[in-house]
Structure 1
């Protein structure tokens, strides 16, 4: 588990719009104009790579379940843009940026590692994607997002040539990616517990990484990732639902509850296929649910956490009786269909 103290002291280190992509440890007594320490910047790297590793593992192990795929390279990117003006030169020196986009971290055992790519390699080109030609704006993640999306549009399993600078010397490597479910993964800084998916991206609050064991953190990621695999955002929009505070009112409720339960059920398959214990989801809800899953509106748009545990438990029993991998749940066949709002047939009530 990561022991992070997420406070307002972090904010001077990073531009506000970049907080979705990076995390740093605060340093006691550091004023806004001071440069971030090496320790802080290494915490950025560690935390981002922790989420990237979980995302890569889930996305590649479950590629057969996904109708939208991308090349799974196993690299976590960052840009100079995402650091604010006061931290940018310190970041350039610490990470050795020789180009606007560089490898922040490499997932252990990934195709990128096997091809010899390393953290702090400054990237020039990935296949047909000319990274040097991608425009950016200081204080934003615009360049980072554009690079991620362009790389994701490459063929999911075709070898890709990567050109880089390492210590000022040009090099190249051929990476043979693993097909992966298409999705970006971003870490959100703050003291709350946000977790969301918008169809193309999964965002997870750093507090989950701080306070929950690795397998339970993976369960949170798997749940949100399931929303993307099931195209829930598109299907909810097609139903004309209202988001935000009104999600728990009126005709919205049945659709949100249906998608939450579908994501709960699919998430345990994703965990099992990726070699995580499916019961980590149960352990997470038993810890998170009693103190943090309440609130009137949330309790209406989301099933009660104890019922979710009972529902997940019942599905895990089915998984335990099936040694086949990867497991492909029948519910995937419904993802091209409109949401029916029938959440009652999915739920198992707590005893």
Structure 2
């Protein structure tokens, strides 16, 4: 999987901290490596745009640069081929940059990262392939969202230092899972999207899923579920647990409409996408137990989008955001669209 963060983005092919374990990359040719680069940049761009446009709605912000980074240890199928293709001169390197971001045209792909501010890459943990990437994000995300940062890199044996001027973004890293599964998840700090989704859907539709998962983080659903002592695993779809999960899903649906509008997407983008996506991918007993039906979800997003389009709701100040500090009660039906 790949990690794409507002601060920076990274390739994570086997990240133990992810909601699910990622499949290793088996291809080792140039086409595979460049496909990874393209997918990661696409997700990084979607995530960066949403995190930048909605920073005022986030009570936790991070410095956004638009850098996409990856670690050599992630390419365990053939590290020598990866090292040669991406010109690794160390463990962590620049995979891509988001267009029109602070890093664009200042730091180039295939530069090896040596130091980020006072964080030396050589000092980062290496217990898992993505450990240095996650540690790098966690440490740098704590910096001032607007403070200039000096980034030291190496390319073709030449060391150089570049000063970047970050912009504030919502604190979340975005991670691309290399997988044939249809999967989108959030864990409070990270949003994970499977590569299959990017392969099957255009960016404008992937953005709907990214916005939904980002909404989970903004609304602090992981913390609120933990505070409610929710059970996960097979028990998640039973009784009170299921009601609590359904409440978080609908809250995220509602907020996602506002996040999308703030980033320039049409008010009905979410509802339109779910009517296309839902029939094929929203089934199964477990998912139906923890998530409301896709028709109910689409109807609620339609209602929210229409309210924004008619000027009855302000995407810059969505009332659902107030729930961020309210304990979950499981009353998910109260969030459904009115008849």
The aligned length equals 325
Matched-pair contact (CA < 8 Å) for 1:202–1:224: yes
Q: Which runs of 5+ in 2 are unaligned?
A: 1-11
- Aligned-residue offset at 1:22: 8.9
Matched-pair contact (CA < 8 Å) for 2:183–2:194: yes
Report the counterpart of residue 274 of structure 1 in structure 2.
Answer: 263
Find the partner of 2:235 among 203, 225, 246. Answer: 246
TM value normalised by structure 1: 0.87
**SS of the residue aligned with 2:52?**
helix
- Say if 2:313 is the partner of 1:288: no
Find the partner of 1:97 among 66, 88, 101. Answer: 88
- Aligned-residue offset at 1:325: 7.9
Matched-pair contact (CA < 8 Å) for 2:13–2:22: no
- Say if 2:37 is the partner of 1:45: yes
Task: Give the distance between the partners of 2:194 and 2:272, measured in 1 at CA.
Answer: 18
**SS of the residue aligned with 1:251?**
helix
Report the counterpart of residue 83 of structure 1 in structure 2.
Answer: 75
Report the counterpart of residue 4 of structure 2 in structure 1.
Answer: none
- Aligned-residue offset at 1:168: 1.3
- Aligned-residue offset at 1:17: 4.5
TM value normalised by structure 2: 0.90
Find the partner of 2:97 among 99, 102, 106. Answer: 106
Report the counterpart of residue 67 of structure 1 in structure 2.
Answer: 59
Report the counterpart of residue 111 of structure 2 in structure 1.
Answer: 121
**SS of the residue aligned with 1:155?**
coil
Find the partner of 1:200 among 181, 186, 189. Answer: 189
- Could you give the per-residue CA deviations for residues 185-234 of structure 1, whole angstroms, max 9, x where no partner exists? 11112222111111001111111111112111010111011000000001
Over the residues paired in the alignment, what is the CA RMSD in angstroms? 2.2
Report the counterpart of residue 8 of structure 1 in structure 2.
Answer: none
- The range that moved more, 301-310 or 321-330, is 321-330
**SS of the residue aligned with 2:63?**
strand
Cα gap change, 1:325 to 1:54, in 2 (>3 Å): farther
- Say if 2:137 is the partner of 1:148: yes
Matched-pair contact (CA < 8 Å) for 1:22–1:48: no
- Aligned-residue offset at 1:324: 9.5
Q: Which runs of 5+ in 1 are unaligned?
A: 1-13, 28-35
Cα gap change, 1:22 to 1:275, in 2 (>3 Å): farther
Cα gap change, 1:40 to 1:55, in 2 (>3 Å): same
Task: Give the distance between the partners of 2:208 and 2:24, measured in 1 at CA.
Answer: 21
Cα gap change, 1:127 to 1:17, in 2 (>3 Å): closer
Cα gap change, 1:170 to 1:274, in 2 (>3 Å): same
Cα gap change, 1:135 to 1:16, in 2 (>3 Å): closer
- Aligned-residue offset at 1:323: 10
- Aligned-residue offset at 1:15: 6.2
- Could you give the per-residue CA deviations for residues 18-50 of structure 1, whole angstroms, max 9, x where no partner exists? 8967986x76xxxxxxxx111111111111111
Matched-pair contact (CA < 8 Å) for 1:23–1:48: no
Find the partner of 2:310 among 321, 329, 332. Answer: 321
- Aligned-residue offset at 1:263: 0.2
Matched-pair contact (CA < 8 Å) for 1:20–1:187: no
Report the counterpart of residue 134 of structure 1 in structure 2.
Answer: 124
